[in-house]
Amino acid sequence: MRIVVLGAGIIGVTTAHALAVRGHQVTVVDAEAGPANGTSFANGAQISPSEAVPWASPGSLRLALRWMTSANAPFRLNLRADPRQWAWLGQFVRNCTDGRWQANAPAMVRLAEHSRHCLLALNEAHDLNYHREQRGILRVYDRPEKAQAELAHIGHVMQDHDVPLQVLDPDGCAALEPALADAVASGRVGAGILAPTDETGDAHQFAIELAHVAATAGVRFRYGERVRSINSFCDHVTGVETDRDQISAERVVVALGMASVDLMRSLGVALPIYPVKGYSATVPVAGSNRAPRVSITDQGNRFVVSRLGDNLRVAGKADIVGHDRAIDQQRAANVLDDLFCLFPEAGDRSRATVWSGMRPMTPSGIPLIGASDMEGLYLNTGHGSLGWTMAAGSADLLAHLIDGQRPTIDPAPYAPVSR
Ligand SMILES: Cc1cc2nc3c(=O)[nH]c(=O)nc-3n(C[C@H](O)[C@H](O)[C@H](O)COP(=O)(O)OP(=O)(O)OC[C@H]3O[C@@H](n4cnc5c(N)ncnc54)[C@H](O)[C@@H]3O)c2cc1C
């Protein structure tokens, strides 16, 4: 079939590749000059099924209220005169019950873990170089009770999906990652939970590498071309209109991250996705032997650190502040402060590059993957804070659905039409 994939972020590239290996004739359209220049560009680099649980939980509203009083908090909310923001917040609040959490979390973990397996298969099939590290992800807590509480909260859902977790005492944390020794000695790290099968890697570099593989398999990439609208006839998709051309297709996949919302709105479809802005900084390790190799999630301060070759990537903040992607220098500096507070000699702060990105979040945390109401038009979007973690599995799931085959995991929780 002739299929057009809209967007060459991590979701679009993995989708295009999955469809091409099934024999489809695939074209990818992206407004940028190359792959993964949007939200996939400089994310936290974690492949983290162990963290694939909804942000909307019974405790999150209390935490959000507490954080709203502090300028440097991980979360910021600027209420705006924007009905879409209010509608999204209302849906988020409705997902904060224990019942919704218990329903949403398994769907997220199942997709994330399936995705990890799909990523393993891609790595076995191709020589992909993207600073991959398979050392697990260590969540750190200042007090052991917090680690125990977290384990009580997520342990069963991880166990149900074969995601192993190990509780570590402070010495165990420092033994696993010697760069944590000072933080352990000062009492800043009092316990850890290790997810040994989680991994890390540079999503941008991965997308470049996989796009190359996909191009070799026949995928045509049209960069620097902006999608304007979806073309249809009798409620059946016929292609897309870009700022340069008309492209005809039997199937169209919308994988535009945040921009999926506006495109679908032009068809009268309101996707439940709102931008949650985050920041990252990439810091040259600069020969420091005090920079971590194991990826760390600081659970209290809500930031992540990943080693990408000779750089460290730190990422954090969840700002619901509208659609403006501009970098707030104070927020970006906070992210760097977080890194150097935990790892004071990790690298050269003066050469750090800061970045911001818009997580395309659904209120439940579950992405939208599957057929839309229009015949031949599919969605693969709304991956929020877990697009890199879920990309390969989302692509595999959608490719099965487009081919009318039974997917490896139940597609029902991700179906866009019921949402
Ligand atoms: C600070 C931060 C840290 C994060 N850390 C992690 C992490 O550690 N692990 C994890 O799994 N996830 C993480 N995420 C989330 C992850 O980065 C996203 O979920 C993911 O990048 C979304 O990918 P996407 O392909 O859907 O969107 P995008 O990467 O934004 O891709 C959409 C593409 O569509 C293109 N486009 C937009 N409009 C048009 C148009 N009209 N015409 C043509 N092309 C268009 C854009 O150019 C872009 O390339 C993080 C996000 C942030 C912001």
Q: Is the pLDDT of residue 152 over 70?
A: yes
Which of these three, 361, 381, 405, is where a domain ends? 361
Tell me whether residue 103 is in a domain: no
- Which domain does 10 fall in, by range? 2-40+205-272+365-414
Mean pLDDT of 94-100: 97
Tell me whether residue 303 is in a domain: yes
> In this structure, are 222 and 357 located in the same domain?
no
> In this structure, are 224 and 137 located in the same domain?
no
Tell me whether residue 119 is in a domain: no
Calculate the average pLDDT of the chain.
Answer: 97
> In this structure, are 372 and 357 located in the same domain?
no
Rounded to the nearest 10°, the torsion over CA 399, 260, 13, 314 is -130
> In this structure, are 277 and 167 located in the same domain?
yes
| Confidence (pLDDT) at 419 | 54
> In this structure, are 209 and 351 located in the same domain?
no
> In this structure, are 230 and 83 located in the same domain?
no
Mean pLDDT of 65-89: 91
Residues 302, 316: Cα–Cα separation, whole Å: 6
Q: What is the CATH number of the domain that holds 397?
A: 3.50.50.60
Q: Is the pLDDT of residue 164 over 60?
A: yes
**Which residues, 6+ apart, have CB-to-CB distance to 55 below 8 Å?**
92, 318, 361, 365, 384, 385
> In this structure, are 79 and 160 located in the same domain?
yes
| Per-residue confidence band for 186, with pLDDT thresholds at 50, 70 and 90 | very high
| Confidence (pLDDT) at 71 | 81
Nearest CA to ligand 1 atom 44: 30
Residue 89 belongs to what H/E stretch? helix 83-94
User: What percentage of residues in the chain have a pLDDT greater than 70?
Assistant: 100
Tell me whether residue 115 is in a domain: no
Mean pLDDT of 2-19: 98
| Per-residue confidence band for 216, with pLDDT thresholds at 50, 70 and 90 | very high
Q: What is the CATH number of the domain that holds 138?
A: 3.30.9.10
Q: Is the pLDDT of residue 69 over 90?
A: no
Ligand 1 surroundings by CB, under 6 angstroms: 7-12, 29-32, 36-40, 43-46, 226-227, 255-257, 259, 278-280, 304, 315, 357, 359-360, 381, 383-389
Residues 204, 191: Cα–Cα separation, whole Å: 32
| Confidence (pLDDT) at 418 | 55
> In this structure, are 282 and 372 located in the same domain?
no
* C-alpha 359 – ligand 1 centre gap (Å): 7
| Per-residue confidence band for 253, with pLDDT thresholds at 50, 70 and 90 | very high
Q: Per the structure, how many domains does the chain have?
A: 2
Residues 106, 111: Cα–Cα separation, whole Å: 8
> In this structure, are 370 and 258 located in the same domain?
yes
Query: How buried is 46 (Cβ within 10 angstroms: 0-12 exposed, 13-18 middle, 19+ buried)?
Result: buried
Give the CA distances from residue 220 to residues 213, 367, 399, in Å, rounded to whole numbers and listed in that order. 11, 26, 17
Q: Tens digits of per-residue pLDDT, 13-51? A: 999 999 999 999 999 999 999 999 999 999 999 999 999
Residues 381, 124: Cα–Cα separation, whole Å: 26
Q: Tens digits of per-residue pLDDT, 260-304? A: 999 999 999 999 999 999 999 999 998 878 999 999 999 999 999
> In this structure, are 30 and 141 located in the same domain?
no
User: Which of 10, 15, 43, 320 most suits a substitution to test ligand 1, by most atoms within 8 Å of the C-beta?
Assistant: 43
| Confidence (pLDDT) at 352 | 97
Measured over the CA atoms of residue 163, residue 169, residue 171 and residue 173, the dihedral's sign is positive
Q: Quick one: DSSP state of residue 367?
A: -
Rg (CA), the chain: 21
Tell me whether residue 172 is in a domain: yes
Model confidence, pTM: 0.98
Tell me whether residue 56 is in a domain: yes
